[in-house]
Amino acid sequence: MKRKQFRASGSTGSSPNDSAASLHTAGLRHFQAGRFAVAEERIRRALALEPEHADSLYLAGLLQAQADKIDGAIDFIARAIRIRQDNPDYFSDLGSLLARRNRHAEAQKSFLHRAQAQAGRRRCLGQTWRSLAPTEELPGRATRL
């Protein structure tokens, strides 16, 4: 099918077998390219398949923020955080949005949670690094004799 025929057929460029994760990935690519309407459509479909898909909820929040719908953005990102508390970006963006609404005490809590989530990621990375390399091979550490 030629490009014009494909567009005329009403196809969205995705199959009915798409997963929430694949729709989220497509939505993220469209968001990054500035195609916000298409990104929103993909994210809506992802959330219809999996309403608790944290990354899609987060991206829905970013899309709301981009459209200057701050209260909607806060709601979506807060939902993403309730599902997944280990992503520092969620907390950072929520804090920024709360600050825009002059909800400074809540913003401060969100930024604190961001720092804690970031520290948790660093600890995990350090533990993973230590488990993969013997002590004498770790950079910045004295080697055993």
For residue 40, tell me if it sits in a domain. Answer: yes
Print the domain residue range for 77. 19-131
CA geometry: angle 8, 4, 11, nearest 5 deg: 45
For residue 9, tell me if it sits in a domain. Answer: no
Mean pLDDT along residues 114-131: 62
* DSSP designation for 142: P
133 to each of 91, 123, 124, 127, 128, how far by Cα in Å? 32, 15, 14, 10, 9
**Tokens 């709360």 — which residue?**
98
Q: Tell me the per-residue pLDDT of 73-119, one tens digit each, with 9 for 90 and over.
A: 999 999 999 999 989 999 999 999 999 999 999 999 998 888 888 77
Which CATH number does the domain housing residue 110 bear? 1.25.40.10
For residue 23, tell me if it sits in a domain. Answer: yes
Total tally of structural domains belonging to the chain:
1
For residue 93, tell me if it sits in a domain. Answer: yes
Query: Is the pTM for the entire model greater than 0.85?
Result: no
Q: Tell me the per-residue pLDDT of 28-79, one tens digit each, with 9 for 90 and over.
A: 999 999 999 999 999 999 999 999 999 999 999 999 999 999 999 999 999 9
